[in-house]
Amino acid sequence: MQLPSALAPLRFLPRLCWALLLTLACLLPAQAALAMGVQEFPASPPLNRVLDTADLLSRASITDLDHRLAALEDDHIQARLVTLRRLDYGLDLADLGHQLLDRWQGDGNTIEDGQLLFLIEAQNNTAAVVVSNDLLDQLPAGLLSSTGTSTMGLPLREGARYRQASIDGIDRLASVLRDGQDPGPPQLIERLAVESNVPSRDETQSSNALTWVVVLLTVGTLVPMITWWVFSR
């Protein structure tokens, strides 16, 4: 049946709808592929001290952080920094760190020095610090938790300052290892929340915008087709 000239453009709507739906279907697996678990990391200890898998740091920042991590080798500690976009579902950042240490110390890898690992996750701007068991006397669990949550967490929460968070975490533990003095977490300053019409990152990620896009595309396709069918009878 020949469509009236006024309704002729509607013949392209089904094709457009299918193209949009296929695009959305391709995007969802791509987003899921960004999630990382221990299997996405090398089986042996990497040569690089900074594994910026999330591409959060500039080249100059990586060089600076590499020098700071290398300085810890004077205390017979191999320290590394790992960044990632987001974790696999149900995985905790500290748990991933311990799994990485186990992975790199197993499989016949001979590691004599203590292992120190700083981790940053970009999706929620969180950090964690883990060490091998032989370092727990020097760097106890409470200190590691405070370093990840407070020392590194504050710059991350204040504006995703990844370089500063890494420097603050490394410097705090380096101070403890050097002279046994813990400078402590940064002083938290209460700030009045500034109202904004721009949604936060967490609000955007927790929204059901994708569902609404699919619904609107479906309605936008079906309504014109039903209208054409009714008036063409």
Give CA separation, 203 vs 13, 197, 208, in Å.
32, 12, 10
Lowest mean pLDDT among 40-54, 153-167, 190-204: 190-204
pLDDT at 82: 96
Q: By the 8 A CB rule, do 81 and 49 touch?
A: yes
The alpha helices in 73-150, defined as continuous H runs, are 93-105, 141-146
DSSP one-letter code for 88: P
Lowest mean pLDDT among 7-21, 58-72, 129-143, 146-160: 7-21
Query: Any residues with CB less than 8 A from the CB of 217 and at least 6 apart, and which?
Result: 17, 20, 21
Q: What is the mean pLDDT of residues 78-99?
A: 92
CA atoms within 13 A on the CB side of 55: 1
CA angle 52, 47, 127 (to 5 degrees): 35
CA angle 7, 12, 16 (to 5 degrees): 135
Give yes or no for residue 190 having a pLDDT over 50. no
Pick the most confident of 30-34, 39-43, 156-160, 168-172. 168-172
Mean pLDDT of the residues in the chain: 79
Counting Cβ atoms within 10 Å, is residue 232 exposed (0-12), middle (13-18) or buried (19+)?
A: exposed
